[in-house]
Amino acid sequence: MTARPTQAAYDQLRIDTDRTSSDPIWTAMYRYLVEDLGLAEAFASNRANKELTGDIPKGFCDGMERGGFSFRDKRVLDLGAGLGGLSAEIARREATVISIEPCSAWRTLAHRRLAVMPRASVLGAVGEFLPVASNSIDLIVSLQVLEHVADPERVIAEAFRVLKPGGVISLTYENYFSFWEPHYKVRWLPLLPKMIGAFYLKSLGRNPKFLNEAVTYTTFAGVRRSFFRAGFECMRLQSFRDSLHSPLRDGLKGKAVRVIADLSEPTALSMLAAVDYCRRVLRTGVHEVMRKPVNQK
């Protein structure tokens, strides 16, 4: 298995400082959005600003902590670290962070960003072959990366290998069974053949190079199957099980679920899982939290 060819967005020549900004991290994000994806300059500028302020990683980490996860003294793998923003935020929360980033130019910038953080390191590798010992990681985080790897199922299997029993993977990815292309931000048909998609993008005055070279069509159904094949258990389904008899389930729907659960807990759990599946199967962005079983070696 080999990594994808380096994209123009990650070319060292295109991240040097120029008139748009004195910060190469800002410039890298801005040029990627404007030159590769053809997005509006105002949108790109705003997103590049967020890259510097770390608003997105802060929100993600705050959400993890509200969900009961503490980063302190944990060993965390940032799978697809990009420009290093998420790794930096996690390191600030007193975790030891291993950042994986295959593209040399963005990895260089991430390394500079994390150089002042002694508990953070950056490695050049692909998700299909992680240079990390088995059963050694408490948490894997990955934001919008899975749709850019060559073999998502292999990446998920590697994640399972390196996690400790009871370890968690929290990741977001794009669902190409939806009616939206999230990178170019245009309407899209589910699993649109790339040859047709490239023609469509050209008709809009957009460059299809990124689609052809950097996108793998991931779907909610396919990724969910890969997780289960690897041996993961779904934390969302576990939360459904925990809440079946919860007094917090108010209203007609909640009372109906409790009645069914009293008669047959497996039936109620299956119903909740089916409703959740139907709600998410066409959603563009997906967030999954999976756990390696505690008794799994």
DSSP string, 78-96: EES-TTSHHHHHHHHTT-E
**Claim: this prediction has a pTM higher than 0.75:** yes
The angle subtended at Cα 193 by Cα 191 and Cα 197, nearest 5°, is 100
Is residue 1 very low, low, confident or very high in pLDDT (cuts 50, 70, 90)?
Answer: very low
Sheet holding 285-291, edge to edge: 120-123, 96-100, 75-79, 137-143, 163-174, 285-291, 233-234
- Contact in structure between 128 and 158 (CB atoms under 8 Å): yes
Average pLDDT over residues 242-254: 61
Rounded Cα distance between 208 and 194, Å, is 9
Contact 156, 226 (CB under 8 A): yes
Inter-residue long-range contacts of 243-247, CB under 8 Å, 24+ positions, other chains counted: 244/268, 244/269, 244/272
The pLDDT tens digits of the residues spanning 259-297 come to 665 656 667 667 767 777 788 888 999 999 999 999 876
Q: How far is CA 90 from the centre of its chain?
A: 15
3 state DSSP class of 126:
strand
Tell me which DSSP letter residue 35 carries.
I
Q: Which of 121-135, 143-157, 183-197, 239-253 has the lowest mean pLDDT?
A: 239-253
Bridge partners of 98, per DSSP, are: 77, 121
Residue type, 153: E
Rounded to the nearest 5 degrees, what angle is found at the Cα of 288, between the Cα atoms of 150 and 242? 150
Measure CA of the first residue to CA of the last residue in the chain; give whole Å: 25
Confidence check: pLDDT of 7 > 90: no
Q: What φ, ψ does residue 187 adopt, rounded to 5°?
A: -65, 150
pLDDT single digits (tens) 114-167: 999 999 999 999 999 999 999 999 999 999 999 999 999 999 999 999 999 999
User: Rounded CA gap, 293 and 297, in Å?
Assistant: 9
| The CATH fold of domain 8-177+212-235+285-291 | Rossmann fold (3.40.50)
**Smallest Cα–Cα separation from 56: which of 28, 27, 88?**
88
Look up residue 85 and give its two tokens: 């923003």
**Do the strands 75-79 and 137-143 form a parallel or antiparallel pair, or are they unpaired?**
parallel
Nearest to 162 by CA among 94, 75, 243: 75
Q: CA-to-CA distance for 185 and 89, rounded, in angstroms?
A: 27
**Rounded CA Rg of the chain:** 20
Torsion sign, CA atoms 215, 5, 42, 85: positive
Q: What is the pLDDT of residue 278?
A: 81
Is 258 a residue whose pLDDT tops 80?
Answer: no
Cα–Cα distances (Å) from 54 to 60, 85, 87, 168, in that order, read 10, 6, 10, 23
Local confidence band at 245 (pLDDT 50, 70, 90 cut-offs): low
Question: Domain segments of the chain: what residues?
Answer: 8-177+212-235+285-291, 180-211, 236-280
d(CA 31, CA 34) in angstroms, rounded, equals 5
- H or E segment at 260? helix 251-263
C-beta separation of 60 from 143 below 8 A? yes
